[in-house]
Amino acid sequence: MIRLSARFASLAALAALTLPLYQVSAQEQAPAAPEQGVPAAPTPAVAPTFPKPDPANFSATAPTKQVVDAFLRASWGYDDTRIWQVQAILKTKVDGISKVVVYVGDKTGKQKPAAIQFFALADGKHIIAGDDILTFGEHPYADGRLLAQQRADGPYRGSPSKDLELVEFADFQCPHCKLAQANMDKLAVDYPKARIVFQNYPLPQHPAAANAAAYGICVNKLGGSSAFFAFVGTVFEGQDGLNTPDGATLTLNSALTKAGLDPVKVAACASQPDTLATIAASVKLAQDLDINQTPTLLINGRALPIGGVPYETLKQIIDYQISLDGVK
């Protein structure tokens, strides 16, 4: 679920750099190619043929084409049908900010080729796509990976090792988060050496989400991770009950009973300042990672909104990130 409706356009821009091409095509129209003589993206054939880049359209000294290609390879390389061409890296009126134009298509020609553009910032580590500031560079997810390793402290299943860390940012009242749980359970089976972390991200438009998160923290504290994930499954199963105050109380208490915990003790724990501080720290982590929707899965620092992403595509992206990071 999108956190703020006004951010839909920026999320679509993010999707252009993170999601499979068919999803991008379904969600947005590609930004127009820039002026200054860059031609429009070609009409699809059996396989797209991009126009030859004009050297005059590479007027900026940074970033280099090699760096842009490395960034796109990190972002898109999991999809062996996707092809792209860096068409322009242009100076702008602002020193240190360059406009980058990329043509993207797929080898089958089934998808209409698109022209996307973004602005590379002077620090060499960020770009502006739509109204989002995204990480950039040859290793764009490294900082996010380190941040998660340091601060993602939610309940986890799987390996204690953080070599492959999958951090799920979820809201108990988010319908897409409920649907994502089946895939998260599959990942736990298919990647037994992964550390799969549940990180609370209750959204303000969901009045019961923060209390459910507090209960979950206390379940983990009092009963351990097994009790926590049992609680998670039961709460999501009865998610509709969270829509009213009385229903939320019944749903949470039922989940506690099934997890083998005392509702009175958990309720007392849930109101403690340290419990509320834990939720606030988890929300702050999501914000520092520029995560603005649930459910989002952080794959070794790579943030992927997973609502609607097919399981095989999700596995494909994880396997590719494993290869990029040299995880054994």
For residue range 95-122, what is the model confidence (pLDDT) as tens digits? 999 999 999 998 888 878 889 999 999 9
Give pLDDT, residue 43. 56
With cut-offs at 50, 70 and 90, classify the pLDDT of residue 40.
Answer: low
Instruction: Annotate 192-227 with b (16+ C-beta within 10 A) or e (fewer).
Output: eebbbbbbbbbbeebebbbbbbbbbbbbbbbbeeeb
Nearest to 305 by CA among 170, 142, 130, 154: 170
More confident residue, 328 or 10: 328
Give pLDDT, residue 84. 95
Nearest to 290 by CA among 169, 124, 120: 169
Give pLDDT, residue 17. 55
- Residue count of the chain, please give it: 328
How many angstroms separate the CA atoms of 225 and 61, rounded? 51
How many angstroms separate the CA atoms of 120 and 97, rounded? 6
Q: Where are the beta strands (DSSP E) in 194-246?
A: 195-200
Give pLDDT, residue 39. 57
Residue 132 burial (CB count, 10 A)? 19
More confident residue, 6 or 41: 41
For residue range 154-202, what is the model confidence (pLDDT) as tens digits? 999 999 999 999 999 999 999 999 999 999 999 999 999 999 999 999 9
Token pair recorded at residue 328: 């054994």
How much of the chain, in percent, has pLDDT values that exceed 70? 86
Give pLDDT, residue 30. 32
How many angstroms separate the CA atoms of 317 and 153, rounded? 23
Q: Is the pLDDT of residue 94 over 60?
A: yes
Q: Where are the beta strands (DSSP E) in 69-131?
A: 82-91, 98-106, 114-120, 126-129
Domains plus CATH for the chain?
A: 5-140 (no CATH), 143-325 (3.40.30.10)
Please state the pTM of the whole predicted model: 0.85
Pairing of strands 82-91, 98-106: antiparallel
